[in-house]
Amino acid sequence: MCSGESTARPMTPLRSALLAALVAGSTVTPASAEKVANKVAVFTGLDKITGRIITFDVYIDETVQFGALRVTPRVCYDRPPTEPAQTDAFVEVDEITLDNQIKRIFTGWMFAASPGLNAVEHPVYDVWLNDCRQESDVPPPGERAGGAAREAKPNEANASGAAGAPEAPVGADMVGGVPVPRDKPPIPPGGAIEEDVPPTGDEPANPDAGGNGEILD
C-alpha cells in the first residue's frame, strides 16, 4: 500500500560535500579577476658606493642596464584603485662580470610594498620594483634604433630633481644627493690668511695716549 505523501530523503555526507563544492565553484574571487597586466615596470636603482639613486622605466621583455646589472621584467601586475594595493613583477637580473661575462644573479617576483623580499645580492648595485604603468615617456623598444640593452636613465619627472629634495648648505656641494664640504682656499705664499676680527669694546688701554690724570709718587 503506497502513501500519497512523499518522504524527504536524508542529506548524506557525500551529497553535502558535492553541494558545497558547487557553491564554492560558482563564486569568483574579485582580486584574481581584477589583476591588471601593465606594459612598463618602474624600478629604483642604487649605487652603494656613490649613493646615487635613480628611478627608471623598463618595458616588459626589455633589458635595461644599470651599472653592472641588466634588468629584464617579464610581467608587471597591479590592482585597480577599488582593490587592495598590490604591485608585483617577475624580474630577471643579470650581472656583467669583470671579464665581460653575463651571470644570472636573480630570478623571481619583486613586490613594490616589500622591497626586502626581493633582495638582489650585489656588492655595489641594488635594484627594486617601484611601480607598474601602462605608458612611459621613454619610446618603446620597437621605435628605437639598435637592439642592445639601453642604459638606465632617470625619468623626466626626476631628471631635474625630486620635489622637496634637500639643497646643499652654504659652503657645500651636492654629490649623489649628499652634501660635501668644499675645499678650503690655498694659503697665499709669504703669509697667512688674515681674518677680520670684529671689535669687542674691551681693547686694552694705550699707554702712549695722553690723559688728564695726575701722576702720584
- Radius of gyration of the chain from Cα atoms? 35
The reply to whether 125 falls in a domain is yes
* CA distance linking residue 112 with residue 128, whole number of Å: 7
Judged on CB neighbours under 10 Å (0-12, 13-18, 19+), 58 is: buried
- How high is the pLDDT of residue 119? 75
**Inter-residue contact 179 to 168 (CB < 8 Å):** yes
For the entire predicted model, the pTM comes to 0.58
In a domain, 132, yes or no: yes
Residue 215 is assigned to a structural domain of this protein: no
Tell whether 18 is covered by a domain: no
Question: Tell me, what's the pLDDT at 142?
Answer: 83
Q: How many domains does the chain have?
A: 1
C-beta separation of 64 from 150 below 8 A: yes
**Mean pLDDT computed over 70-85:** 92
Averaged over 70-82, what is the pLDDT?
A: 93
Asked if residue 55 is part of any domain, the answer here is: yes
Res 169: pLDDT: 43
Domain range holding 101?
33-151
Q: In the structure grid, which three cell numbers stand for residue 67, read together?
A: 651599472
Residue 117 pLDDT: 81
The answer to the question of residue 71 being in a domain is: yes
Q: Is there a domain that residue 160 lies in?
A: no
Contacts of residue 107, defined as CB under 8 A and 6 or more positions apart, other chains included, come to 91, 92, 93
Residues in a beta bridge with 36: 78
- DSSP codes of every residue in 193-214: PP------S-PPPPTTS--SPP
Out of 5-14, 52-61, 130-139, 176-185, which region has the weakest mean confidence (pLDDT)?
176-185
> pLDDT tens digits, residue range 169-192?
444 455 544 445 555 555 556 655
d(CA 131, CA 153): 16
174 in a structural domain: no
Q: Which residue has the cell 669694546?
A: 201
**Max Cα distance, the chain (Å):** 158
Average pLDDT over residues 92-104: 95
Q: Using one digit for the tens of pLDDT, what is the confidence trace for 41-69?
A: 999 999 999 999 999 999 999 999 999 99
